[in-house]
Amino acid sequence: MTELLSSYASGQWQSGNGSGTSLYDPVRGTELVRVDAAGLDLAAAFAFARHSGGAALRALTYAQRAALLGAASKVLQANRDAYYEISTANSGTVKNDTAVDVDGGFYTLSTYAKIGESLGNSHYLHDGEPTRLGKDPLFQSQHVLTPTRGVALLINAFNFPSWGMWEKAAPALLSGVPVIVKPATTTAWLTQRMVKDVVDAGIFPAGAISVICGSSAGLMDQLEPFDVVSFTGSADTAAIIRSHPAVTKISVRVNIEADSVNSALLLPNEALGSEAIDLLVKEVAREMTVKSGQKCTAIRRVLVPEHLYDSVAQALSARLAKTTVGDPRNENVRMGAIVNRAQFNAVRDGLSYLKAQAEVLHDGSTHALAVDDAAIACCVGPTLLGTTDANGSDIADRVHNTEVFGPVATLVPYRNNDLSHALQLIRRGQGSLVASVYGSDPVALGEAIPELTDSHGRVHVISPDVGAIHSGHGNVMPQSVHGGPGRAGGGEELGGLRALNFYHRRAAVQASTAVLTQLK
């Protein structure tokens, strides 16, 4: 029997009383560890976090809590090798892809440690300046932001067991709000190990951080009015969370990050051979293959003028053909596995669904797999589809509303010299996390931006001058907002100090100027 990972709740490591759910190596098929949350006293765990953890965190200042984040980041960095091993085994990722998750988590944590310092020794925040309420300036209104007196339930998707936890936990803990982390079962091991290292190092006060490994059953039922839920995962699970009585009846605040059919757009008037086209091709190929396309921000639709369809298809296919796929332990492998058999099957089914409305420009199934047993390994090569012409792009509704969570993208030609057609096709994604735009003319790029910012959480604009230094279409930077309207979930995370808003309550204080000056 493999190890049964314990959960950390009520300030103690505890095991569930069931036989557990197994976690597997997606390349070799071996069982790694098990998780089980059956029988855990969730009510006690939430009460302990809410009362003991919350009180201890709120007693600290922002700067003190920022220092704790910095200390946690150092502890995690010291254990980096162990996280890489777990990630290789459980997520099937090559080193560069592990870095996106593991080092991305460190970076986010240390960024919040730094920006948190700037908030100094206060216990709550001012929101704006005092505003007079009548003719007499003596009686004014000042808004303040106070840490919510509850717990933050952080529910994460399988694809970012490290970054996904820390991008939520860092702003929550900096705000003074205790966290209960629920990792996705498939990849819970890395999250559990990181929490264990931080707990063992005794950095945070008791109750500040807990982790529940196993089923999500009963978690939402524990929530009380001042608690918050931050969820990342599928639209289907998001709908269950949104309709839970905790949200509908007692107004538990909820943030949803869901799936998204993100776009990359090449502006009209780029001549064949232009640097902007090269930059687009490079980035699309990278986005399709990083983490085997299992990124919520990955490029799914590539919009190019119709006359460039064939040449961009060829350039992309040539790049994708060079991707070696297989066991991440093999030094020659550039792209690892899909996380498990169920996701592998979902990618295969999703591809068949899209293929009914698109042609295959590069077929991932032709890639030789560098694995011991191709029948066991959840590996698949990158596939580029295409809607053939502008009319096909209009007809192919599946391409605009289906996220295939794997190394799959579709080339979507728009009518030559008709940017409005491209924008109309992009909007059929019904709100996305990110769009990237490629072009050489700053004026044309500047005009396109406000056409995209209404339906995207982030717009990543690439002109040749930033070609070598940009942060990447799919990389979520803690300085920039992450989230998107509509089908992307309507959520908003990160964005520097903006992230703290979710974990604070805004109140208007109406008082005399003399009293307001007492608010520190």
Residue 356 CA neighbour count, 13 Å, CB half: 7
The one-character DSSP state at 335 is B
* Residue showing the smallest CB distance to ligand NAP in the complex: 233
Helices marked H in 290-340 — which ranges?
Answer: 309-321
**Using CB under 6 A, which of 158, 166, 226, 344 touches ligand NAP?**
158
Quick check: 24 binds ligand NAP (CB under 6 A)?
Answer: no
**Integer angstrom CA distances of residue 44 from 165, 245, 247, 355:** 22, 20, 21, 50
Angle CA(319)–CA(380)–CA(365) in degrees, nearest 5? 75
What is the per-residue binding string for ligand NAP in 245-264, x denoting contact by CB under 6 A?
------------xxx-----
CB of 2 to ligand NAP, least distance (A): 17
Region 216-235 residues binding ligand NAP, contact defined as CB under 6 A:
216, 219-220, 232-234
- Which region among 85-93, 152-160, 329-337, 467-475 touches ligand NAP (by CB under 6 A)? 152-160
Quick check: 433 binds ligand NAP (CB under 6 A)?
Answer: yes
* CB of 232 or CB of 440, closer to ligand NAP: 232
* CB of 25 or CB of 403, closer to ligand NAP: 403
Region 402-431 residues binding ligand NAP, contact defined as CB under 6 A:
403, 405
Query: Which amino acid is it at 42?
Result: L
CA dihedral (112, 113, 114, 115) positive or negative: positive
Q: Which residues 6+ apart lie within 8 Å of 398 measured at CB?
A: 353, 354, 356, 357
Q: In degrees to the nearest 10, what's the CA dihedral of 414, 419, 421, 427?
A: 110
Q: Catalytic positions, please?
A: 257, 296
CB of 461 to ligand NAP, least distance (A): 21
* CB of 66 or CB of 211, closer to ligand NAP: 211
CB of 301 to ligand NAP, least distance (A): 14
**Using CB under 6 A, which of 40, 69, 86, 157 touches ligand NAP?**
157
The Cα–Cα gap between 295 and 96 comes to 14
The Cα–Cα gap between 92 and 335 comes to 9
Region 180-219 residues binding ligand NAP, contact defined as CB under 6 A:
182, 184-185, 215-216, 219
CB of 418 to ligand NAP, least distance (A): 30
The Cα–Cα gap between 371 and 508 comes to 61
Residues lying near ligand NAP in the complex (CB under 6 A): 155-160, 182, 184-185, 215-216, 219-220, 232-234, 237, 240-241, 257-259, 296, 403, 405, 433, 489
